[in-house]
Structure 1
Amino acid sequence: MTFQPRGFDFLKDVDVRLTVELGRTSMKLKDVLGLSEESVVMLDRMTDELLDVMVNGKLIARGEVVAQGDRFGLRIVELAGSDGEEAASPEKKAPKAAAKGDED
């Protein structure tokens, strides 16, 4: 008996973790310990920037938040690497994101 999977079909049922990153910031521990229920933490992302969509920590797309009923969702706007560039990790793409905002 020979096992011959067709393409990568056998991988379709593998669970992966999809995460959407709103933004990041660096804080001193004393500032983290000082957070309370009404605290506001400013992030490194502008309100008009797309959110990073990652699978198991690897950037695969960028998208925008949508609401459907009483739940949040995400509309994929662009796939990573679709413009001919190699997808960068979230830590390495920050300068590119700033440059993208300057094009307006």
Structure 2
Amino acid sequence: MDAGSQPGFSQAVLDIQTTASVVLAQQQISLSRIVNLVPGSMLTFDAHCDEPLTLEVGGHPIALGETVKIGDKFGLRIREVIAE
């Protein structure tokens, strides 16, 4: 994607690096549970294993997708862009 295809953005802005994260599931847990985590501890989540993953940028959800295997790595196939 180049600056010409994004009206109002200069190339300098589009070149800024940011962190993208893929979120499987989230939940609120107590700090006491966190400090008691050890290797082998298990956390369970309400999310079903077939639910889409959320792509977040800067802590904001921007898309939903599914995992795909790319060689020996994993990727995210975007299925829906979240419009705000």
TM-score grouping bracket, smaller chain normalisation: 0.7 to 0.9
Q: Which runs of 5+ in 1 are unaligned?
A: 1-5, 87-104
Tell me which of 13, 18, 21 is aligned to 1:19.
21
Name the % identity: 36
1:62 correspondence with 2:70? no
Where do 4+ consecutive residues of structure 1 move more than 4 Å? none
Q: Secondary structure at the match of 1:78?
A: strand
Tell me which of 51, 71, 74 is aligned to 2:53.
51
The Cα of 1:34 is off from its aligned counterpart by: 2.2
Bigger RCO (CA 8 Å, 6+ sep): 2
Q: For the Cα contact (< 8 Å) 1:62–1:78, is it kept in 2?
A: yes
User: Relative to total residues, which structure has the larger strand share, 1 or 2?
Assistant: 2
| C-alpha distance in 1 between matches for 2:20 and 2:14 | 14
2:3 counterpart residue number: none
How many equivalent residue pairs? 77
The letter for the 1-side match of 2:28 is S
Q: For the Cα contact (< 8 Å) 1:64–1:76, is it kept in 2?
A: yes
The letter for the 1-side match of 2:9 is F
Q: Secondary structure at the match of 2:34?
A: helix
| C-alpha distance in 2 between matches for 1:60 and 1:38 | 32
The letter for the 1-side match of 2:19 is R
The Cα of 1:9 is off from its aligned counterpart by: 3.9
1:7 correspondence with 2:13? no
Q: For the Cα contact (< 8 Å) 1:67–1:73, is it kept in 2?
A: yes
